[in-house]
């Protein structure tokens, strides 16, 4: 059934806007708009007009770059609903912080602060973004408005349709490097790096090792009291937020620890120099089996583009995860039993 002409703008414009923000280059969007605007005169000629991009954005100059801060409350006004608040009775969010290179050859990075509602299946939304060369040089500058807003919402709650609901941050989600920076703790290769216990690292065979598995656990209280001074490198601005738990609220990063960490090292032991290195015939059998099985992975396995095992260092985290949880459980049975 053909669409009535009067309904075409309401259909076409949102579809083009959704497509334009999915990683398509600005020049490609402009090129397409110039072609189809001759047929649909209601369309703008540029991506800026299509996405209603403002010509000027108010930013703050911070040490190491510029900071644009939108805020938590404007995002909640869009995402909150009566059904959500009836179900949860409060506003609970997770916070994610990480760096994103703007280009492969440039020096500037984006450092966004992202927010996601607990139980919300929609994409995360942006609280603020810093742009500059490298990491934020001043955490106080970078987190000042964020900490002030979280503190205000924690104390006063969130107003919605005339009612006030409790507000809290559930988890902070960062990779190991970012956690050490934003928690102001020792780096991930130091002797006192473990965030969950007080184990003392020992330097062995050119790497820091942590062999004692029975050390006392770290707690939110022991962190605040600085009971292990060597673990700390300063005071995080996040500690100024009421009820922030600097141990239990920070999630460990399974992607780097397990998939890009343990699994990558395990394959390196099997495929590179060392006492567990496989014979080249076994490597060939293993590689062929992985490629064969990967042809039958269902579509739920995202970004699993396997290639020959000799290029395993180029595998992505999703591929190491599929190997760990599914594929190797089957194909390792083709190897000698000792492996």
The pLDDT assigned to 56 comes to 72
DSSP at 185: B
Percent of the chain whose predicted confidence (pLDDT) is above 70: 99
Query: Mean pLDDT over residues 174-199, rounded?
Result: 91
Average of per-residue pLDDT values in the chain: 89
State how far the alpha carbon of 78 is from the alpha carbons of 12, 84, 248, in Å: 23, 12, 29
CA distance 309 to 329: 16
Render pLDDT for 194-249 as a digit per residue (tens, 0 to 9): 999 999 999 888 888 898 889 999 999 999 999 999 999 999 999 999 889 999 99
CA distance 27 to 39: 20
- As given in the structure block, the two tokens for residue 323 are 């190997």
Position 71 pLDDT exceeds 90 = yes
User: With helix as H, strand as E and coil as C, how does 130-160 read?
Assistant: EEEECCCCCHHHHHHHHHHHHHHHHHHCEEE
The pLDDT assigned to 23 comes to 67
- Yes or no: say if 141 and 148 are a contact pair by the CB < 8 Å rule: no
Render pLDDT for 101-152 as a digit per residue (tens, 0 to 9): 877 777 888 999 999 998 887 788 899 999 998 889 999 999 999 999 999 9
The pLDDT assigned to 53 comes to 78
Sign of CA dihedral 120, 123, 128, 132: positive
Give domain limits for the chain.
5-50, 60-183+242-251, 185-233, 255-334
State how far the alpha carbon of 148 is from the alpha carbons of 117, 141, 144, 152, 154, in Å: 19, 12, 6, 6, 10
Q: At what angle do helices 26-36 and 8-20 cross, to 10 degrees?
A: 160
């Amino acid at each position: 059934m053909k669409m009535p002409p009067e309904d075409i703008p309401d259909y076409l414009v949102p579809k083009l806007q959704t497509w334009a923000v999915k990683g398509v280059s600005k020049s490609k969007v402009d090129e397409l708009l110039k072609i189809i605007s001759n047929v649909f005169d209601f369309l703008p000629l540029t991506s800026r007009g299509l996405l209603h991009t403002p010509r000027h954005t108010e930013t703050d100059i911070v040490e190491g770059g510029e900071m644009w801060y939108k805020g938590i409350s404007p995002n909640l006004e869009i995402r909150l609903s009566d059904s959500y608040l009836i179900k949860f009775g409060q506003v609970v969010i997770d916070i994610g912080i990480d760096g994103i290179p703007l280009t492969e050859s440039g020096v500037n990075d984006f450092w966004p602060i992202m927010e996601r509602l607990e139980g919300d299946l929609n994409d995360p939304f942006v609280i603020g973004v810093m742009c500059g060369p490298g990491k934020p040089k001043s955490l106080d500058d970078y987190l000042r408005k964020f900490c002030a807003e979280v503190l205000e919402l924690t104390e006063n709650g969130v107003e919605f349709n005339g009612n006030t609901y409790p507000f809290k941050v559930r988890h902070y989600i960062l990779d190991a490097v970012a956690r050490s920076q934003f928690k102001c703790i020792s780096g991930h290769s130091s002797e006192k790096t473990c965030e969950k216990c007080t184990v003392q690292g020992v330097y062995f065979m050119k790497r820091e090792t942590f062999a004692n598995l029975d050390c006392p656990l770290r707690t939110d209280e022991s962190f605040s009291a600085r009971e292990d001074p060597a673990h700390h490198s300063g005071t995080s601005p996040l500690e100024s937020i009421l009820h922030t738990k600097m141990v239990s609220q920070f999630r460990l990063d399974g992607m780097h620890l397990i998939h890009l960490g343990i699994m990558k090292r395990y394959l390196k032991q099997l495929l590179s120099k060392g006492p567990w290195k496989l014979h080249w015939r076994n490597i060939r059998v293993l590689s062929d089996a992985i490629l064969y099985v990967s042809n039958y992975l269902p579509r739920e396995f995202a970004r699993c583009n396997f290639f020959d095992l000799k290029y395993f260092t180029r595998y992505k985290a999703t591929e190491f995860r599929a190997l760990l949880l599914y594929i190797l459980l089957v194909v390792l049975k083709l190897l000698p039993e000792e492996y």
